[in-house]
């Protein structure tokens, strides 16, 4: 089995840590929502990466001792960002800027070439790539995505894939809800409270009982046909 080396990089943006994992070729492998806690960010990234056996995790040498003291015997090597690739720092910072801009509700585009979906099934890859097509300011439903992938009977499978989305914000799984306007789940820290906040920042509006208003729910099949 070919191992994928993932270089975790993090910086602060407006007092929040923003982090992501990159390959040496500077493709995004994983990310988290911004947080005031480095420990929380690293726990989320490790959970994503170490659940699969194909990743070798590397951490900036400046925090490797903190990682080992906090997470015990977790396998992670230190690295110097400047030695990974001559473009590593500039590209990683640009990607973190994009992730933070998405967090704030701005329109951000991540191309297929900027991400790497490793260790996921073909079905999961199809779900995640379709989710990238949902426009800012709108949502679609689990059943609509399922319909594009073979039928509404796959709605639960779609939800399961999105609950393990390795690239929140880059792949906007918060824009997928139940058919009746309820938000459904959100696996990131903060749950549906954060999901609602993200949608509100993007301009989505809700009814008094907390459901997405119908005019913000689109059929993705019509947008990409």
User: Exposed (0-12), middle (13-18) or buried (19+): which is 202, by Cβ within 10 Å?
Assistant: buried
Q: CA 21, CA 138: separation in Å to the nearest integer?
A: 28
Bin 45: left if φ > 0, else alpha if -120 < ψ < 50, else beta: alpha
From the list 26, 92, 173, 220, the catalytic residue is: 173
How many helices (DSSP H) and strands (DSSP E) are in the chain? 9, 7
SS3 per residue for 27-45: CEEEECCCECCHHHHHHHH
Dist. CA 203–CA 58, nearest whole Å = 37
Told to judge if 173 belongs to the known catalytic residues of this protein, a careful annotator would answer yes
Q: Which contiguous run of DSSP H or E holds residue 18? A: strand 16-22
Query: For residue 100, which of 6, 181, 33 has the smallest C-alpha distance?
Result: 33
The residues annotated with a catalytic role in the active site are: 173
């Amino acid at each position: 089995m070919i191992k994928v080396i993932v270089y975790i990089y993090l910086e602060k943006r407006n007092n929040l840590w923003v982090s992501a994992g990159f390959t040496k070729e500077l493709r995004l492998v994983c990310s988290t929502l911004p947080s005031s806690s480095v420990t929380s960010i690293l726990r989320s990234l490790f959970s994503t990466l170490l659940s699969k056996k194909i990743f070798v995790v590397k951490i900036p040498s400046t925090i490797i001792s903190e990682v080992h003291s906090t997470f015990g015997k977790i396998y992670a090597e230190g690295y110097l960002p400047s030695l990974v690739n001559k473009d590593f720092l500039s590209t990683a910072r640009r990607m973190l800027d994009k992730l933070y801009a998405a967090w704030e509700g701005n329109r951000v585009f991540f191309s297929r070439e900027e991400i790497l979906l490793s260790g996921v099934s073909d079905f999961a890859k199809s779900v995640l790539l379709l989710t990238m097509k949902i426009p800012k300011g709108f949502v679609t439903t689990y059943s609509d995505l399922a319909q594009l992938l073979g039928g509404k009977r796959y709605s639960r499978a779609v939800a399961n894939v999105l609950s393990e989305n390795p690239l929140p914000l880059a792949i906007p799984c918060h824009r997928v809800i139940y058919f009746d306007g309820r938000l459904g789940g959100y696996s990131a820290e903060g749950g549906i409270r954060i999901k609602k906040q993200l949608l509100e920042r993007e301009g989505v509006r809700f009814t008094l009982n907390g459901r997405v208003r119908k005019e913000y729910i689109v059929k993705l099949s019509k947008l990409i046909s």
